[in-house]
Amino acid sequence: MIELLGLEVEAGGFRVGPVGLRAGDGRYVVLLGPSGAGKSLVLEAAAGVRGAAAGRIRLAGADVTGLTPERRRVGLVFQDGLLFPHLTVAANIAYGMRAAGRDGVAAGGAAPRSRGHRLSARVREEKVRRLAATVGVTALLDRRPATLSGGERQRVALARALAAGPRALLLDEPLSAVDPEAREELQEVLRRICGERRLPVLHVTHDRDEAFALADECVVLIGGRVHQAGKPLEVLRRPADAAVARFLGARNVLPARRDPADPRLAVLDAGGALPTASPLPAEAVVVVVRPEDLRLAPAGDPAAATAATVTRLTLQGGHVLVGLAAPAPLDALVPAGELDAAGITVGQKVTVSVRPEHVHVLPAG
């Protein structure tokens, strides 16, 4: 288990934290946030390559805050793999076994040092082969890092980290430099290793999809401060504040007030209104609606709530992001086929509806 307890990190006048999080054995925690949020600083402090300004770091129940990186036994993987370019893939993977042996730092699972050098070398080779098979790089063992693809490099970096017998895996944007197809495969490898080896994983990323695909728990860090922590779906559906909602792609984050006549109707400051599931408070609020929760219908549909004009259409994969003036600016995400069938085009009048339970209400400010 890895625990960060009120961890604060400082770099160049920028202070991050306090960050509190816990990844149990076999649990996958993603620290999610935009660039410049301070995620990597947290990870570096957890690895011990950067000092903590305040707070504690615990690994498997032991306080490691004051320990040097080589005594912490954590596996660190960076975005670009950072394989040692002067070593072969096999030598990269074996690095941790050797370093641990030389420096007298215990590496779990390393070859017993009491045996002869020859045998321990053989044991090492065997272990390298096993790890290479685990991450699917057996055919690459004699290659140099410069000849590998982004995905291959990350697999090797992962095997190298595992070879030293880490008590936790710390991953800094490990999929950012990987092709989309290779990314899905690598995600599977990461999940499998975390589960099979019962390793706690702390994974840092700015990519929401990556976070939601992998995480047991998400911690959202924005501007150096933890805004929310929870299960991915919970964070996605119930953002703690407007900043989290915006970062998670809610797009429709709108200041509003309670309708004097109907406490379950939010009157948007920019015009228009949206229904809510529970009565609104008297004070100003912010309502959040994810674009995929908005429904469009041709104008005049009796079930629709608000009239709007289509201002722009942007293709996004198999969906279309529809810009609307309702008159508040709204974004709706609609399956491309559905849009086609309804014959919706730019400039057209439509009606917009949303189920009240999909309108998330946050305190203003």
Partner 1 sequence: MGRRPFSLFWALCAAAGVVLLTFVVLPAGSMIAEAGAGLLGEALRQDDVRRSLVLTVSAALITTVIGFVVGVPLAYLLARKEFPGKRAVEGVIDLPIVFPHTAAGVALLTVYGRQGVVGRLLAPLGIEFTETMAGIVLAMLFVSLPFLVDGAREAFALVDERYEHVARTLGSSRFGAFARVTFPQAWRGVLAGAVLMWGRGISEFGAVVILAYNPKVISVLTFERFEGFGLRAAQPPAVLIVLVAFVAFLLARTFLVPRRRRTGKGQR
In 3D, which of 299, 71, 273 has the Cα closest to residue 166?
A: 71
Q: Interface with partner 1 includes 78 (CB under 8 A)?
A: yes
Total site size for partner 1, rule CB under 8 A: 36
Binding region for partner 1 (CB under 8 A) out of 40-48, 226-234, 237-245, 317-325 = 40-48
Local structure of residue 278 (DSSP, 8 states): S
Taking the C-alpha atoms of residue 331 and residue 293, their distance in angstroms, rounded to an integer, is 10
* In the complex, least distance from residue 136 CB atom to partner 1, rounded to whole angstroms: 17
Q: Interface with partner 1 includes 38 (CB under 8 A)?
A: no
Query: Judged by CB under 8 A, which of 1, 105, 297, 362 binds partner 1?
Result: 105
Q: Interface with partner 1 includes 258 (CB under 8 A)?
A: no
Range 69-96 burial, b when 16+ CB lie within 10 A, else e: eeebbbbbbbbebebeeeebbbbbbbbb
* In the complex, least distance from residue 72 CB atom to partner 1, rounded to whole angstroms: 7
In 3D, which of 90, 89, 95, 104 has the Cα closest to residue 75?
A: 95
Site for partner 1 in 146-185 (CB under 8 A): 146-149, 157, 160-161, 163-164, 166, 170
Q: What residues contact 178, with CB distance under 8 A and at least 6 apart?
A: 150, 151, 154, 186
Binding region for partner 1 (CB under 8 A) out of 16-24, 84-92, 207-215, 249-257 = 84-92
Q: Interface with partner 1 includes 239 (CB under 8 A)?
A: no
Query: Judged by CB under 8 A, which of 67, 82, 313, 362 binds partner 1?
Result: 82
List Cβ<8 Å contacts ≥24 apart for 174-177. 174/77, 174/78, 174/79, 174/203, 175/205, 175/207, 175/210, 176/79, 176/205, 176/207, 177/79, 177/80, 177/81, 177/150, 177/153
Specify whether the CB–CB gap between 346 and 338 falls below 8 A: no
Give the number of other Cβ atoms within 10 Å of residue 341's Cβ: 9
Q: Interface with partner 1 includes 70 (CB under 8 A)?
A: yes
Query: Judged by CB under 8 A, which of 23, 64, 100, 221 binds partner 1?
Result: 100
Cβ nearer to partner 1, comparing 20 with 69: 69
Query: Judged by CB under 8 A, which of 75, 151, 224, 232 binds partner 1?
Result: 75
Site for partner 1 in 133-152 (CB under 8 A): 146-149
Cβ nearer to partner 1, comparing 163 with 287: 163
In 3D, which of 26, 24, 1, 42 has the Cα closest to residue 221?
A: 42
Please give the residue ranges that form the binding site for partner 1 (CB under 8 A).
44, 47-49, 68-70, 72-76, 78, 82, 84-86, 95-96, 99-100, 102-103, 105, 107, 146-149, 157, 160-161, 163-164, 166, 170
